Structure 1
Amino acid sequence: MSYRTLSQYLEQQSEPGQGNLTAELADVIQTIATTCKTIDQALQKGALAGVLGSAEHENVQGETQKKLDVISNDYLIDALKTHQNVGGLASEELDDFTPAQENGQYLVLFDPLDGSSNIDINMCVGTIFSILPAKNARTQASDFMQPGTQQVAAGYVLYGPSTMMALTIGTGVVFFTLDPESQQFLLTSENVQVAAETKEYAINASNQRHWEEPVKRYIAELQAGKTSVREKDFNMRWVACMVGDIHRILCRSGIFLYPYDTKDPQKAGRLRLMYEANPMSMLMEQAGGAATTGRVRILDIQPTELHQRVPVVIGSSSEVERVTSYHQSHQ
């Protein structure tokens, strides 16, 4: 069977009327993909390369970094800051944005290694990226303050049993699989769709005592299964890596929740709007799903800071709408 490479796909999609893609944007996506191959190689070597374990310091989020967090971040910064079409970068791991090229047409935001707590136990991790149009010849911090609706492309690379890329340029969602022999990302799924109905959910149940009442109500109904108002049984899946959980939903539908809770009332949510929620929400909506905070559509949120956090309810549209309606009726 013959598969199209990422390069061939982007070349075909750059024709007029094919979403947001331009030759310049295609080149930025290619650079991200190439860098993710390098990250994949570092992950494959694991303990053999001495890259496991803690980096012995914290990131801007106050989280202890893994060595591969730092390595992955450096790979992406080095590859993109010299790219002629990139005006600026922002990473979940860094306090401030990184200026790139004057007159670069695009801004790139990324979580270099999502789910890094899984590294040392050899479970799936991923890289998430979001691409916005640049606003000025010389990038300023305010240029990144664009709602998710302004994204021209978004995606992730999942480092698992096989390494895969999910990508949207505004014309649906496609999957590529990295061929270990040719080291090419090959198109393996087109027009990825998320069903409106599902029987799977993902949530960190250890935080249950801290949830708001609408979330407690929703999860209690799912747990009650056929004996509840839902009249069907649900299964819970939790990977502790947003890339893994979202990939499962894109493959077979479901709902993922990381809601607001009172564990740390000062935090509006756990996940980062710019590096996680926005790109994943674009992918989900492009696949026919939905994404809200439980109260408002995520892609409509006007960012106010680079490391802004939000609650996330994302996945099959009927379930996301139900959770959102519970929040609205509770208010």
Structure 2
Amino acid sequence: KLRQYAVCYDPLDGSSLVDVNLAVGTIVSIYSGNDPLQAGRNQMGAMYVLYGPRTTLVYSVGKGVYEFTLNSLGEYTLTRENIVLKDHGNIYSPGGLRQKYLPGQRKFVSYLEDNGYKLRYSGGFVPDVNQILLKGSGIFMYPALSDSPEGKLRLPFELNPMAFLIENAGGAASTGAMPILDVVPEHLDQRCPVYIGCRREVAMAEDFLAVEAR
């Protein structure tokens, strides 16, 4: 029996980095049925391909996270299986202009800096999340900004598939107020702030933002 699937994909995430030869990627999200406007928790699977010094594919269908590497024969070979994030890390990747951060975000970043977290930010969502996933450590964030309260990254095409992968590796992904995967998109271009990575750092981000919201 034939089944229908809805696929959301970003064919070249980080396209502004191509002219300076930095890593970019492709992100894919798969749902059952023909409606792409579903909560990310309904995904059947998600994956990304990273085009860097190596070409790698990372995917999950809800039963672990796996990495494959493209070899000289044009085949993908399994290189990592059952990838798991630590409970906490020491890397932070903050997107957005700092002068446009809201007070809770400023305090959170200051806390990370004061506690020895290392800044690792390339400007590419795929390579930055890939680093956190494979090192098993850290948090990526693109917060609400003073002139863009919904953030920059798109929920169906970027955030949902990455949140699915990170949660399946034992991490967390949040808007700062609720899990990314529980947000039901109203339109395809919907955007959200994002905090994604190790559970402890994501929870800390939510705490800092909640204090400022009171």
Shorter-chain TM band: over 0.9
State the partner residue of 1:77.
Answer: none
Find the aligned partners of 1:191 and 1:145 in 2 and give their Cα distance.
29
State the partner residue of 1:112.
Answer: 11
Aligned pairs, number = 212
Which blocks of at least 5 consecutive residues in structure 2 are unaligned? none
* 1:100-249 equivalence runs, <5 A: 104-134=3-33, 139=34, 143-179=35-71, 181-204=72-95, 207-225=97-115, 233-249=116-132
Q: Which runs of 4+ in 1 moved over 3 A?
A: none
State the partner residue of 1:257.
Answer: 141
Secondary structure of the residue aligned to 1:215 is helix
1:292-317: CA deviation from partner (whole Å, max 9, x where unpaired): 01111000001100110000100011
Higher relative contact order structure (alpha carbons within 8 Å, sequence separation ≥ 6) = 2
Q: 1:104: how far off?
A: 4.5
Greater share of strand: 2
Find the aligned partners of 2:73 and 2:37 in 1 and give their Cα distance.
39
Does residue 289 in structure 1 map to residue 171 in structure 2?
yes
Query: Partner amino acid for 1:219?
Result: V
Identity in percent: 40
Find the aligned partners of 1:264 and 1:291 in 2 and give their Cα distance.
20
Find the aligned partners of 2:113 and 2:201 in 1 and give their Cα distance.
14
Q: 1:330: how far off?
A: 2.2
Find the aligned partners of 1:322 and 1:300 in 2 and give their Cα distance.
19
Q: What's the RMSD between the two structures over aligned residues? A: 1.3
Find the aligned partners of 1:221 and 1:145 in 2 and give their Cα distance.
36
Secondary structure of the residue aligned to 1:152 is strand
1:178-231: CA deviation from partner (whole Å, max 9, x where unpaired): 00x211111110010111111110013x61121111111111112223xxxxxx
1:76-121: CA deviation from partner (whole Å, max 9, x where unpaired): xxxxxxxxxxxxxxxxxxxxxxxxxxx6521110010001111111
1:143-162: CA deviation from partner (whole Å, max 9, x where unpaired): 22210010000010000000
Larger radius of gyration: 1
Secondary structure of the residue aligned to 1:196 is coil
Query: Partner amino acid for 1:245?
Result: D
Find the aligned partners of 1:129 and 1:213 in 2 and give their Cα distance.
34
Does residue 274 in structure 1 map to residue 156 in structure 2?
yes
Find the aligned partners of 1:150 and 1:214 in 2 and give their Cα distance.
31
Find the aligned partners of 2:111 and 2:36 in 1 and give their Cα distance.
39
